[in-house]
Chains A and B, each alone.
Chain A
Amino acid sequence: MARYAMAIDTKRCVGCSDCVAACQTENNVPIGFCRDWIVEEMHGQYPTLDLEIRSERCNHCADSPCVRSCPTGASHYADGGIVLVTPEECIGCKACIVSCPYDARYVHPEGYVDKCTFCIHRVKEGKDPACVSVCPTHAFIFGDLEDTNSEISKVLRTRKNKTLIPEAGTEPHIFYLI
């Protein structure tokens, strides 16, 4: 079994938002919504300001409150630990939306709940997610953590990295190289 994850290099990311646009096109994200977004975080005091730019999205948590809280099983773990919503099973109760500490989900105008899918349709064809393949600075590494020789496994062994709010206890699988 694979365990997909993403490592995003905050030292490379310039915050151009190409990943956001690529996702919207690839996945027909309705106008006014987004499945990924760019956060800029400034730390410290002038003149030693430190800027961190992050491309954020659903963390495809291994212990997902959204999957746990879903009454119908519409939110589920698909291949490789990717967290997905099956629209035909979703009743739109929004329990998963309030359960997500990353606020990564929204109600699609058609009524079901939607969010990042790690572009599972592309991954199944052996391709990278749209955001990963479009990034001009190659800030993303997408791959399988179970495979110890994969690029992502290697980079997580060698580079210092973090996840967002690990204290929320959901085992997020988006890693930020810092």
Chain B
Amino acid sequence: MQELTITSGRMNPGIDPVLHAWGWEIPVYLFLGGLAAGLLFFSAYFYLKGKENTFVTAVKTAPMFVPVILGIGLGALFLDLSHKLYFWRLYTTIRLESPMSWGAWTLMFIFPLSVLWSATFLKDVFPSWECKIPFVARFIEWLKKKRTWMAYGLILFSAVLGMYTGILLSAFNARPFWNTSILGPLFLISGFSTGAAFILLMSKDEEERKMFSRIDMVLIVIELFLIVHLFMGFLASTQVHVEAAQLFLGGPYTAVFWTFVAGLGLVVPLLAEFMEFRGVHIPVKIPALLVLLGGLILRFIVVDAGQSSRWLYKFMQ
């Protein structure tokens, strides 16, 4: 028998009885970061492949949304800070050991880059738009010549951003459920998959939809594989990690995770896309929406579950 109690009555708000340092803001930030990473990656990749006129939505239209998505994501991060007036301190140092730091810097690079990138496509997306300021118009013309370079930059930064959304969590040893190297690739792939779903939602072009449907299917299969891998890893690890996995294998997160994330967010869209592929007509918007929703819920659950898996004071829960 082993029995623990805190007899001095510790009840620090936000820490006890269950750690709740991060609320909705961080999962939203991670979701939007992953989505933006996916959109930028596909845009840059297919641009470099010379598909800008085949996959118009992916290459030209989707990037228009990215600065807004990133803006909202950064807004959510800002709302999470409890000492907001000192926000600028993030940008007075770079601390490579701290994912929070290099992530914030990555966003600092990718945000303006995404603005410039989408500016070069403004004329294509809104043909009637005319830039009234000659200086800006000339600048955009100049930028257009640099698209190849920008695309390479975007591919690099979008991969870093996508990975970062997972590494931010997996860097924490203290939370057994986050402490797995799978989280980086899982969030990267999930982010790209939500990106593909977003493009699917908007695209009106048959060929483009087929392409992104196929991409999404591959990404979902990888994601499912990573999820299985994640749990196998935990179960083969130390006691605290086994306990963390059990939160999802019979514990409080079992129903939400397997129904909404694995079932409705991955398996159902995968089947729907597969059937569509086989000629059964299913409105593509349904699997796309499910993937987006599943991605969002995944982040909520992972952020939450990590905080309820701790080393000490488990008896307080």
Query: Chain A residues in contact with chain B, CB under 8 A?
Result: 15, 17, 20, 32-34, 36-45, 53, 65, 68-74, 87-95, 97-103, 105-107, 110-113, 164-165, 167-169
User: Chain B: interface residue count, which band?
Assistant: 35 or more
If over half of B's interface residues share one DSSP class (helix, strand or loop), that class is named, otherwise mixed; here it is: loop
Among B1, B16, B100, max chain A CB count under 10 A is at B100
- The total of interchain contacts (Cβ-Cβ below 8 angstroms) comes to 156
Q: Which 7 A-B pairs have the closest CB atoms?
A: A92-B82, A92-B83, A71-B101, A111-B83, A37-B10, A101-B174, A71-B100
Cβ-defined contact, A38 with B7, below 8 A: yes
B87 proximity list for chain A (CB < 8 A): 91
Given A37-B6, A72-B89, A168-B311, 8 new contacts (CB under 8 A): A34-B12, A41-B2, A42-B3, A69-B100, A71-B95, A89-B89, A98-B22, A103-B15
Min CB–CB distance A70 → chain B (angstroms): 6
Q: Which residue of B lies closest to A111 (CB)?
A: B83
B19 at the interface (CB under 8 A from A): yes
Ordered by A's residue number, 21 sampled pairs between the chains whose C-beta atoms are within 8 Å are A32-B12, A33-B12, A34-B10, A37-B10, A40-B6, A69-B171, A71-B95, A73-B95, A88-B86, A89-B86, A90-B83, A91-B86, A94-B21, A95-B99, A98-B21, A98-B307, A99-B173, A103-B16, A106-B14, A107-B14, A112-B83
Min CB–CB distance B207 → chain A (angstroms): 44
From residue 277 to 299 of chain B, which have CB atoms closer than 8 A to chain A? none
Min CB–CB distance A65 → chain B (angstroms): 6
Cβ-defined contact, A98 with B100, below 8 A: no
Given contacts A20-B8, A103-B313, contact A98 B174 (CB under 8 A): yes
Query: Chain B residues in contact with chain A, CB under 8 A?
Result: 1-16, 19, 21-22, 80-84, 86-87, 89-90, 92-93, 95, 97-101, 104, 171-175, 238, 306-307, 310-313
B93 proximity list for chain A (CB < 8 A): 71-73
Cβ-defined contact, B310 with A95, below 8 A: no
A103 proximity list for chain B (CB < 8 A): 15-16, 19, 310, 312-313
Min CB–CB distance A43 → chain B (angstroms): 6
Cβ-defined contact, B98 with A95, below 8 A: yes
Q: How far is the CA of A35 from the CA of B250 in the complex (A)?
A: 35
Q: How far is the CA of A164 from the CA of B16 in the complex (A)?
A: 19
Q: How far is the CA of A74 from the CA of B87 in the complex (A)?
A: 12
Given contacts A74-B89, A106-B15, A167-B238, contact A45 B82 (CB under 8 A): no
Min CB–CB distance B72 → chain A (angstroms): 18
Min CB–CB distance B73 → chain A (angstroms): 14
Q: How far is the CA of A98 from the CA of B179 in the complex (A)?
A: 12
Given contacts A90-B83, A168-B311, contact A70 B95 (CB under 8 A): yes
Given contacts A33-B13, A39-B5, A97-B21, contact A92 B81 (CB under 8 A): yes
Q: How far is the CA of A122 from the CA of B90 in the complex (A)?
A: 31
Cβ-defined contact, A69 with B10, below 8 A: no
Min CB–CB distance B123 → chain A (angstroms): 39
Given contacts A68-B97, A72-B90, A73-B93, contact A101 B1 (CB under 8 A): no
Min CB–CB distance B29 → chain A (angstroms): 11
A99 proximity list for chain B (CB < 8 A): 171-174
Cβ-defined contact, A91 with B89, below 8 A: yes
Cβ-defined contact, B173 with A168, below 8 A: yes
A169 proximity list for chain B (CB < 8 A): 173
